[in-house]
């Protein structure tokens, strides 16, 4: 196996021999949009790319086509709630910009068993040989004993579903260092977890999302389109990451919904860094994974996580030295 050079993008190097790659949002909402730089870069390399998302869209109120239990297909002409259907809006953007496949697959929120079945169906139906699970934020790397876990139910359900797949290359990725502060994540613990993965060779480095790179420019434009068509429900995470990529800094508010709260933001260049990891290694570090493997509903997942934390010692919160 060829070793990457200093001038390679480490994550894309892992996918160099893959031909059919699924880029999927881990935590619901607009996580899938954070995977677009990778998806567009793979498309530039001539690879077939599929987009999927653990969705927060009310699929029963859409015309997205049901493909299998818990799996739907949104297209540019799909209809649904005017206030929130980001997958459809991205599909419109893809169609308008000449992409050959405007489909976005929706994975219905559920327990671990249901989401695993959806992932298995998609992997088989699309015949993928690569998968990138993307988290907008960094709580995907929380193992369970950190001071704060962020919003782990959807992230870890998706992580374990991807772990169960027999796919040659599976990567976990995070973008948005610092955005999970409001959800209680201790970023010193995130860095500690990255260090642990580095020691085992499962950390694939960081890439900067910088305007002027074609895949980054397309991502910025696509996110702006989706945000524009999701009034009052825009993604704060996506806004923070794209603002950081454009060079904004400090208490910068591009959305009225954050400006109106009076919350102080700290937009900074670390938010637009894309971190890559071996997915199976990330999943194997989840301390409570056996407690939620058979969970049928998201409520069971949440209850099992809470029970685990009630009965196990947690790492004390620590600050990153200034």
Instruction: Please count the structural domains in the chain.
Output: 1
278 located within any domain: yes
Q: What is the average per-residue pLDDT within 244-268?
A: 91
pLDDT of residue 195 exceeding 70: yes
243 located within any domain: no
Q: Are 30 and 226 in contact (CB under 8 A)?
A: yes
Q: What is the pLDDT of residue 46?
A: 96
pLDDT of residue 226 exceeding 90: yes
pLDDT (tens digit per residue) in 152-183? 999 999 999 999 999 999 999 999 999 999 89
246 located within any domain: no
pLDDT of residue 2 exceeding 90: no
99 located within any domain: yes
14 located within any domain: no
Integer Cα distance of 114 and 132 in angstroms: 20
Q: How much is the mean pLDDT over the chain?
A: 95
Integer Cα distance of 48 and 52 in angstroms: 14
150 located within any domain: yes
pLDDT of residue 124 exceeding 70: yes
pLDDT (tens digit per residue) in 91-122? 999 999 999 899 999 999 999 999 999 999 99
36 located within any domain: yes
- What DSSP designation does 286 have? -
Q: What is the pLDDT of residue 1?
A: 60
0.95 exceeded by pTM: yes
């Amino acid at each position: 196996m060829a070793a990457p050079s200093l001038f390679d993008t480490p994550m894309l190097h892992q996918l160099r021999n893959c031909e059919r790659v699924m880029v999927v949002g881990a935590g619901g909402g607009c996580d899938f949009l954070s995977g677009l730089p990778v998806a567009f870069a793979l498309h530039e390399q001539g690879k077939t790319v599929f987009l999927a998302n653990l969705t927060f869209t009310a699929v029963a109120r859409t015309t997205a086509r049901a493909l299998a239990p818990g799996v739907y297909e949104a297209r540019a002409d799909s209809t649904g709630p005017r206030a929130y259907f980001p997958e459809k809006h991205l599909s419109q953007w893809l169609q308008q910009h000449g992409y050959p496949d405007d489909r976005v697959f929706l994975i219905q929120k559920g327990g671990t068993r249901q989401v695993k079945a959806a992932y298995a169906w998609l992997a088989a139906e699309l015949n993928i040989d690569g998968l990138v699970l993307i988290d907008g934020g960094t709580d995907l790397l929380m193992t369970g004993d950190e001071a704060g876990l962020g919003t782990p139910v959807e992230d870890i359900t998706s992580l374990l579903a991807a772990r169960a797949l027999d796919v040659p290359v599976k990567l976990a990725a995070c973008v948005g260092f610092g955005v999970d502060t409001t959800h209680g994540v201790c970023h010193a613990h995130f860095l500690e977890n990255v260090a642990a993965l580095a020691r085992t060779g499962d950390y694939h480095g960081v890439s900067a999302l910088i305007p002027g790179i074609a895949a980054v420019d397309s991502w910025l434009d696509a996110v702006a389109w989706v945000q524009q068509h999701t009034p009052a429900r825009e993604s704060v995470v996506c806004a923070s990451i794209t603002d950081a990529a454009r060079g904004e800094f400090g208490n910068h508010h591009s959305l009225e919904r954050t400006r109106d709260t009076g919350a102080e933001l700290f937009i900074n260049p670390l938010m637009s860094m894309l971190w890559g990891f071996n997915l199976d290694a990330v999943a194997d570090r989840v301390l409570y994974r056996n407690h939620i493997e058979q969970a049928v509903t998201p409520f069971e997942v949440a209850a099992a996580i809470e029970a685990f934390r009630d009965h196990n010692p947690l790492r004390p919160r620590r600050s990153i030295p200034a």
